[in-house]
């Protein structure tokens, strides 16, 4: 059973989903990649409109980055940014007014420097919650013959869930290390982690993910 199912919902909810045929364990494929979603100023700085305290999430991601870089697992980062508010789009800019300030070149769309992104690790600038929408992510993953994505970053109830769903839709294996995803709101975090585990990804303890990555022969 996934960590999300152990953490949230009551026993009745977990039983209902199990009997309905959700939440099967998919496990790992052969070639993983690590996705680090939106760990940029706008989200990791608690003084920002969208920001919250994501220090423990960042710490977990740094552990994953260490292992990924040591074992040649490809790493991809994302941020959200637009050339101008007009390019957000009419509907999107009215629903998510926060996006109108996410301008290319501003500090708030820059990755947290602690991530120490390397030149060979692509930074994808995405316009929507899913890292796959209107980006080259899927084709780049296929270029590396990746069949498994480890999804980390923020926010669980937005970009993490959307990215997991899009990867799953394409029959990629999706792994979420529970401690490596975060959200500004604890209720939204746990409710969405439950859904993610039931529908799109295997949610696992960070330790289990680290152990698997270290143990891979490549």
Residues 53-112 close enough to bind a copy of itself by CB under 8 A: 83-84, 86-87, 89-92, 94-99
Measured from the CB of residue 155, what is the shortest distance to a copy of itself in angstroms? 10
Would you call 29 helix, strand, or coil by DSSP? coil
Token pair, residue 71, equals 């074992």
CA 26 to CA 201: how far, in whole Å?
8
| Residue 48 vs 63, nearer CB to a copy of itself | 48
Alpha helices in 118-184 (DSSP H): 137-143, 161-169
159 is catalytic: yes
CB of 145 to a copy of itself, least distance (A): 6
Tell me the closest approach of the beta carbon of residue 94 to a copy of itself, in angstroms: 5
127 or 205, CB closer to a copy of itself?
A: 127
Half-sphere exposure of residue 2: CA atoms within 13 angstroms, side-chain side: 32
DSSP 70-102: HTT--EEEEEE-BSSGGGG-HHHHHH-GGGGG-
Among residues 6, 49, 114, 211, the one that binds a copy of itself under rule CB under 8 A: 49
Point out which span in 24-32, 54-62, 65-73, 210-218 binds a copy of itself (CB under 8 A): 24-32
Q: How far is the CB of 63 from a copy of itself (least distance, A)?
A: 25
Using the rule CB under 8 A, which residue among 5, 60, 79, 135 binds a copy of itself?
135
Q: Which of 184, 172, 180 is nearest to 203 (CA)?
A: 180
Dihedral-angle region of residue 10 (phi above 0 means left; psi in -120 to 50 means alpha; beta otherwise): beta
Instruction: Please compute Rg for the chain using Cα positions.
Output: 17
Query: Residue 119, interface with a copy of itself (CB under 8 A)?
Result: yes
Q: Write out the binding residues for a copy of itself, residues 159-188 only, by CB under 8 A.
A: 162, 165, 168-174, 184-185, 187-188
Query: Which positions are annotated as active-site residues?
Result: 159
């Amino acid at each position: 059973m996934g960590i999300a199912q152990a953490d949230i919902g009551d026993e009745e909810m977990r039983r209902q989903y199990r009997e309905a045929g959700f939440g099967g364990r998919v496990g790992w494929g052969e070639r993983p990649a690590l996705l680090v979603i939106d760990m940029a100023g706008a989200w990791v700085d608690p003084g920002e409109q969208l920001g919250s305290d994501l220090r423990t999430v960042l710490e977990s991601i740094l552990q994953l980055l260490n292992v990924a870089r040591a074992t040649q697992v490809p790493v991809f980062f994302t941020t959200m940014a637009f050339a101008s508010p007009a390019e957000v789009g009419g509907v999107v800019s009215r629903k998510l007014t926060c996006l109108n300030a996410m301008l290319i070149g501003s500090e708030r769309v820059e990755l947290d420097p602690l991530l120490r992104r390397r030149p060979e690790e692509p930074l994808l600038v995405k316009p929507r919650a899913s890292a796959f929408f209107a980006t080259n992510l899927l084709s780049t993953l296929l270029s590396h013959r990746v069949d498994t994505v480890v999804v980390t970053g923020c926010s669980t109830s937005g970009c993490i869930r959307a990215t997991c769903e899009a990867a799953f839709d394409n029959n990629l294996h999706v792994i979420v290390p529970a401690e490596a995803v975060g959200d500004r709101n604890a209720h939204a975090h746990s409710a969405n982690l439950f859904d993610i585990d039931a529908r799109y990804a295997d949610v696992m303890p960070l330790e289990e993910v680290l152990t698997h990555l270290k143990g891979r022969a490549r």
